[in-house]
Amino acid sequence: MSLWWLLPVVAGLSWLLTGALRRYALARSLLDIPNARSSHSVPTPRGGGVAIVLSFLLGLAVLGWMQALPWAAIWALAGAGAAIAMLGFLDDHGHIAARWRLLGHFAAAAWVLFWLHGLPPLVVWGTAWDAGWLGDLLAAVYLVWLLNLYNFMDGLDGIASVEGICVCLGAALLCALTESVADGSAELLLASAIAGFLFWNVPPARIFMGDAGSGFLGIVLGTLSLQAAWVAPELFWSWLILLGVFVVDATVTLLRRLSRAEKIYLAHRSHAYQYASRRYGCHLPVTLGVAAINLIWLLPLALWVGSGRLDGLSGLLIAYLPLAYLALKFRAGEPETGRA
């Protein structure tokens, strides 16, 4: 990337905007009030993720102006990201029925797939598979699930920010080490925007991301993973590996709750990371644990797959099996009882 000067500018802008949003939230009493299903105990301002949205979108416009990123990718990222952020912002300030939120999520996914020309052929155990319209449908479900699971997993101080930075830096490193035609500029830009917000969100958090920020990160990361798949099919598997902590915890939790016919749209505290935070008595060990898993376990596997030395699906299974064990060990999806 030739625009290294842009990264500290975006991080600084995100830092400033988050501070301004915190003052705004305090003045308007836009606070997340703890309840029986919260993982925090102190009323905290919410909506700071808007700083990530604005700083990233402004940086994205600069990348387009400098012709550092294809315009199709910019329109996909900006259009879907802005729509999901606006939907989340409105939900943060009031309430939007779940069916309308879901409709907006699928509309944003359709926008992404229009600009990226759907799901590219994927290589599974040496064979390229082009699923056609069925693949596009699965890609839409993938994008909607990713933006929702990012919302579900944004429940501890710093956890969603740390996950986003680890994934983005890992993806940028993939581009560099695999000599991809993509340079990782958008990923580095997003990491910078998140870093500026993280200054205010480290435990104990002084402001929360809110639905506007978490949903935005989910759809943008999903879009970047599909764009990477068009560059090289193995990079899509690498992206899924990098996203493993959030994907596995959220999916195991969802499946176990569905097996008991629970209403999955109701708030709960039965994710593995939530049980872990209650076991250790604070957020920081869990957030640092997520960072360690990303750097020590998932990143090397993603690089191994991205270099073509390990089949993508095999690498995904190797990466996810220990994560599934950890999710079950920390009771992901189990009914909430008196014990942590």
User: Annotated binding site for Mg(2+): which residue ranges?
Assistant: 151, 211
193-223 burial code (b ≥16 CB/10 A, e <16) = bbbbbbebbebebbbbbbbbbbbbbbbbbbb
- 239: burial class by Cβ within 10 Å (0-12, 13-18, 19+)? buried
Mark the binding-site residues, compressed into ranges.
Answer: 151, 211
CA distance 168 to 185: 10
DSSP string covering 140-208, please?
HHHHHHHHHHHHHH--STTHHHHHHHHHHHHHHHHHHHTT-S---HHHHHHHHHHHHHHHHHSSSPSS-
φ and ψ at 243, to 5 degrees? -85, 5
